Amino acid sequence: MNSELPFLVELIVSAFILTGAGFAVIGALGLARMPDFYMRVHLPTAGTTLGVGCTLIASVIYFSFSLQTLSLHEFLISMFLFITAPVSSHMMAKVALHTGVRYVSHTQGRPWPSRTQRPSRDNSQILTEWPKRP
């Protein structure tokens, strides 16, 4: 870590790093506190989008100043995360609906029955053997 960066740059980079870490902690705190899975699945998207996003912006600024060239690797990582984070969240919510994860009683509205399990498929026997939560 070289220390000849201008003070303002260091200030901005530090602010972005701490903001990102703060979002990550708040997201993880929510993950530990929320009562059911469907409420918890919202939180990693918050941690991913702004938490890692801010850290990556800080990294772009830091390396662009310390190496005197525009550093673009981080943009690739953040683009990748921004594209993949909603896909994995959607998949996990779908898995929860499929395996019958329960939701808190004051949830408004009801999900429709999962359609992923098709009786015509060969592997349906495997799926029906899985224990469902009481």
Partner 1 sequence: MLRIAVIIAMLMFTVSVLLNLYRMVRGPDLADRILTLDSLYVNAIAMIILLGIFLGSTLFFEAAMLIAMMGFVGTVAVCKYLLRGNIIE
Partner 2 sequence: MTDSTPPAAPARDPLWLRLLPHPLISLVILAAWLVLDGNLTPANVLLGAFLAWALPRMTRRFWRHPVHVRSWTGLVRFAIIVIWDIITANLQAVRLLLKSPQELKPAFFVIHLELTNPVAITVLANTITLTPGTVSADLSSRQERLLVHGLHVPDVEAAIAQIKARYEAPLKEIF
- Distance of alpha carbon 89 from alpha carbon 68, whole angstroms: 37
- Distance of alpha carbon 47 from alpha carbon 111, whole angstroms: 26
- Distance of alpha carbon 97 from alpha carbon 37, whole angstroms: 10
Whether 13 contacts 73, CB under 8 Å? no
Beta carbon of residue 128, minimum distance to partner 2 (angstroms, whole number): 19
Residue ranges in contact with partner 1 by CB under 8 A: 1-2, 5, 7, 10-11, 13-14, 17-18, 20-22, 24-25, 27-29, 31-32, 37, 40-41, 43-44, 47-48, 51-52, 55-56, 58-59, 62-63, 66-67, 71, 73-74, 76-77, 80-81, 84-85, 87-88, 91-92, 94-96, 98-99, 101, 116, 121, 123, 126-127, 133
